[in-house]
Amino acid sequence: MSDPISPQPAPKTQHTVPSFTPPAPGLVVGMDEEEAEITMGLGLMLRGAALLEYTLHGLLVHLKDKQPAYSYQPQATGGQLATECIKYLKEMENELIPAKHRADLIEYLETSVDRFKIRHHFVHGVLDFDPESQQWLTHKGSKTRKTLPEIRFTTSSEPWELAIEFDHLNKKILELDIEYFGEPGDPSQGEPARVSVKR
């Protein structure tokens, strides 16, 4: 995995994971610290990816002025949405989004495509811990290598790093979406001055 998109400041205080009683205790029997770390990281990563996917769908329907929003590409994946946004922005003839912000947005979208590919390995790959290298292996089928699986090394911390990146990308893309397509918010309801709305 490439370096995180934005360095994260060191926390001022150490935080620990809240303790809780698992709803299905049998699923965590024998789970060690490495497995607990990657399992929770996967959950955080998937939540971050889903939120970015939601934001990308909003951006795409705003760019293409599609209403109602869920009449257009409601089942597209995050990578597909980001790719279609990139294609539209590169072909855009009007100056709705100035060139500088358009270039920034394309960079965030291209990074999103890459990160969704990494997420794909975690979602569709089988995880096995290799005690010799102290790393996890993901095994998944390959579209290009018809007879051999894709095998990729990873660490227990990588899903956490990916979750940070999805959060950062979502904030950056949402900021630009709100700037150019946002509507007035309702401060009395705790909303900011401008919000992103899907209609």
DSSP state letters, 125-141: SEEEEETTTTEEEEEE-
8 A C-beta contact, residue 165 and residue 4: yes
At residue 6, the pLDDT reads 52
Task: Please tell me what DSSP assigns to residue 157.
Answer: T
For the chain, strand residue ranges (E) read 126-130, 135-140, 150-154, 183-184, 194-195
Segment 118-136 shows an average pLDDT of 88
Rounded to 5°, the CA angle 111-197-87 comes to 35
8 A C-beta contact, residue 194 and residue 183: yes
In the predicted model, is pLDDT for residue 86 greater than 50?
yes
Neighbours of 109 (CB within 10 A): 22
Please tell me the distance from the alpha carbon of residue 180 to that of residue 96, in angstroms, as a whole number.
8
Tokens 């607990």 appear where?
Answer: 36
- More confident of the two residues 138 and 102: 102
pLDDT digits (tens, 9 = 90+) for 150-198: 788 888 999 999 999 999 999 999 999 999 999 999 999 999 999 988 8
In the predicted model, is pLDDT for residue 36 greater than 60?
yes
Confidence of residue 3 (pLDDT cuts 50, 70, 90): very low
Tokens 């999103």 appear where?
Answer: 112
- More confident of the two residues 15 and 162: 162
Segment 54-72 shows an average pLDDT of 91
Nearest 10 degrees: Cα torsion 39, 42, 48, 49? -160
Using a pLDDT cut of 90, give the percent of the chain over it.
Answer: 51
Which residues, 6 or more positions from 185, have their beta carbon under 8 angstroms from its beta carbon? 191, 192, 193, 194, 195
Q: What is the pTM of this model?
A: 0.86
Please tell me the distance from the alpha carbon of residue 46 to that of residue 122, in angstroms, as a whole number.
9
Using a pLDDT cut of 70, give the percent of the chain over it.
Answer: 90
Segment 82-110 shows an average pLDDT of 92
